[in-house]
């Protein structure tokens, strides 16, 4: 068997949009992804449906996979002929141990690419409103590890050079050694009044900051139990934050959202909420298996007076089937309906006008003039007429354990239901023992449209936020204006 290929990819500092184009292309081509704790799990959504996902994350008190085991696994999977992606937070060449992994691959004759990423020492300060350099405040910048392989883990650095020769210093993962760092910088000539800022979860919507000076910051961090993952930035340039703070002023900054998914396509709503500063976790992740359609239905398309597309995915699948079978779509003389606003838009993108499924009315019994197009999971919801099955949709079990880890580190304060079907997914489907009902008791609940609100009410819950219109912009605006949310 031919050897595979390995991509050692920098995932960026947290914001999923900060991965490079080349890094994302590698993710989309992967057979196996070994990912770190600091690589945003949202990036895994772009992996192929059958991609194997392996967690290599390290926490301060425990290791899931030690470096030697990671090296061995990279070699093992590549020797099986697979495309392997090692997805690392930040930049793999900045305190990312990429050299050790590349060396192991080289020793076994395995080809690899190293894909740089945006490092957190640069990005986290920028998201806190602080550039790394500025002509008036600092023209030199250093990135420094705040722990090493010594017995006590305290870094052995050229303290005098740092204190007197560098204007701005970014310490990586420095909270545990913060007193040691501050003492040594002061001891070797850095003024005690030098501004310092701690930035936790930089570039995420849950970003936290703490400002002080070399003389005060260690005690401040202890008082509020500030913890890693964090960047410690030292220098006069920190004072620019008062003028340049931009990210934390976004209308949904601080919102940590669980967005319930019913489709397999990337969510426009998730992108909208993220663009306004929210942390968005989408769940569950669905996979689709295409099925062969009923040939009798294909041969009799012209006989239907009404066709209902239950999802945007069903639109794509249907037209793909027609193209593969060289069917002239002009045979379809029916009036078209969409099961959601997104389905209606998907048809409009193909130049076809459709109405909402609600316009079909409350017909009962058989309807030979109606064709319902969709995946197997919605068949019972549309008992009338014939059913054109496009695919089998299943929850990807790999993402249940990923969600559990994400919920450990995030503090979800908002649950968004984009459709009535999403209520059923979260409360009735078997998605693991995560405790969704406990979460719903604590979080603010937001619904896209009155139909979704009614579905939630049937389950015994009231929506705290209801969008004026059933679109993503309206829901985002309603969340920003909510008076209940204690985050503002």
Task: Please measure the distance between the N-terminal and C-terminal CA atoms of the chain and give it in whole angstroms.
Answer: 58
Question: What are the structure tokens assigned to 292, written together?
Answer: 């062969």
User: What ranges in 325-366 are assigned the alpha helix state H?
Assistant: 341-348
Q: Is the dihedral of CA 183, 184, 189, 190 positive or negative?
A: negative
What is the Cα–Cα distance from 287 to 397, expressed in whole angstroms?
A: 10
Distance from the Cα of residue 454 to its chain's centroid: 28
Return all residues near 345 (Cβ < 8 A) that are at least 6 apart.
312, 338
SS3 assignment, position 465: strand
Question: What are the structure tokens assigned to 407, written together?
Answer: 């919920």
Helix (H) or strand (E) holding 324: helix 312-324
> Could you tell me which of 399, 375, 405 has the C-alpha nearest to residue 387?
375
Q: For residue 230, with 0-12 CB atoms within 10 Å meaning exposed, 13-18 middle and 19 or more buried, which class applies?
A: buried
Q: Are 35 and 53 in contact (CB under 8 A)?
A: yes
**Distances from the Cα of 411 to the Cαs of 127, 258, 280, 408, in angstroms?**
20, 10, 11, 8
Q: Are 198 and 209 in contact (CB under 8 A)?
A: yes
Return all residues near 487 (Cβ < 8 A) that are at least 6 apart.
254, 255, 413
Lateral strand order in the sheet of 256-260: 279-283, 256-260, 414-417, 444-447, 465-466
What amino acid positions are annotated as catalytic residues?
Answer: 36, 58, 173
> Could you tell me which of 284, 247, 288 has the C-alpha nearest to residue 406?
284
> Could you tell me which of 222, 124, 110 has the C-alpha nearest to residue 175?
222
SS3 assignment, position 55: strand
What is the Cα–Cα distance from 462 to 455, expressed in whole angstroms?
A: 10
Which of the 8 DSSP states describes residue 29?
Answer: T
Q: Are 50 and 397 in contact (CB under 8 A)?
A: no
């Amino acid at each position: 068997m031919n050897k595979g290929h390995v991509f050692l990819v920098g995932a960026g500092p947290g914001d999923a949009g900060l991965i490079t184009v080349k890094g994302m292309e590698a993710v989309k081509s992967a057979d196996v992804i070994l990912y770190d704790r600091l690589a945003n799990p949202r990036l895994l959504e772009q992996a192929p449906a059958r991609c194997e996902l392996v967690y290599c994350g390290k926490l301060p008190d425990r290791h899931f996979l030690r470096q030697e085991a990671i090296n061995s696994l990279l070699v093992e999977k590549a020797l099986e002929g697979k495309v392997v992606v090692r997805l690392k937070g930040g930049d793999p060449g900045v305190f990312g141990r990429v050299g050790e992994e590349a060396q192991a691959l080289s020793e076994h004759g395995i080809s690899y690419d190293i894909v740089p990423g945006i490092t957190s020492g640069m990005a986290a300060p920028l998201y806190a409103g602080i550039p790394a350099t500025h002509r008036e405040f600092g023209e030199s910048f250093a990135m420094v590890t705040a722990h090493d392989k010594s017995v006590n883990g305290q870094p052995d650095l050229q303290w005098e050079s740092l204190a007197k020769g560098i204007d701005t210093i970014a310490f990586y993962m420095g909270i545990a050694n913060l007193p040691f760092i501050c003492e040594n910088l002061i001891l070797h000539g850095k003024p005690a009044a030098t501004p310092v800022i701690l930035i936790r979860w930089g570039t995420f919507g849950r970003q936290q900051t703490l400002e002080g000076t070399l003389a005060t910051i260690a005690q401040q961090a202890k008082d509020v139990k500030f913890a890693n993952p964090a960047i410690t930035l030292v220098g006069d340039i920190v004072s620019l934050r008062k003028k340049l703070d931009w990210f934390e002023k976004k209308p949904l900054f601080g919102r940590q959202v669980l967005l319930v998914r019913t489709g397999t396509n990337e969510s426009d709503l998730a992108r909208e909420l993220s663009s306004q500063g929210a942390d968005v976790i989408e769940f569950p992740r669905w996979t689709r298996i295409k099925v062969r359609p009923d040939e009798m239905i294909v041969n009799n398309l012209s006989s239907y007076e009404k066709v209902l597309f239950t999802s945007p995915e069903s639109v794509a699948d249907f037209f793909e089937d027609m193209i593969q079978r060289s069917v002239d779509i002009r045979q379809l003389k029916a009036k078209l309906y969409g099961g959601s606003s997104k389905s209606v838009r998907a048809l409009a993108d193909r130049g076809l006008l459709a109405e909402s499924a609600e316009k079909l009315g409350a017909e009962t019994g058989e309807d030979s003039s109606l064709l319902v197009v969709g995946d197997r999971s919605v068949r019972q919801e549309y008992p009338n007429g014939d059913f054109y099955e496009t695919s089998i949709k299943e929850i990807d079990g790999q993402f249940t354990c990923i969600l559990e880890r994400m919920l450990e580190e995030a503090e979800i304060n908002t649950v968004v239901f984009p459709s009535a079907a999403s209520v059923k997914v979260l409360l009735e489907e078997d998605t693991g023992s995560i405790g969704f009902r406990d979460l719903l008791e604590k979080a603010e609940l937001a619904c896209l449209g009155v139909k979704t609100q009614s579905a939630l009410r049937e389950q015994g819950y009231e929506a705290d936020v209801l969008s004026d219109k059933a679109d993503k912009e309206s829901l985002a605006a309603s969340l920003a204006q909510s008076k209940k949310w204690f985050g503002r």
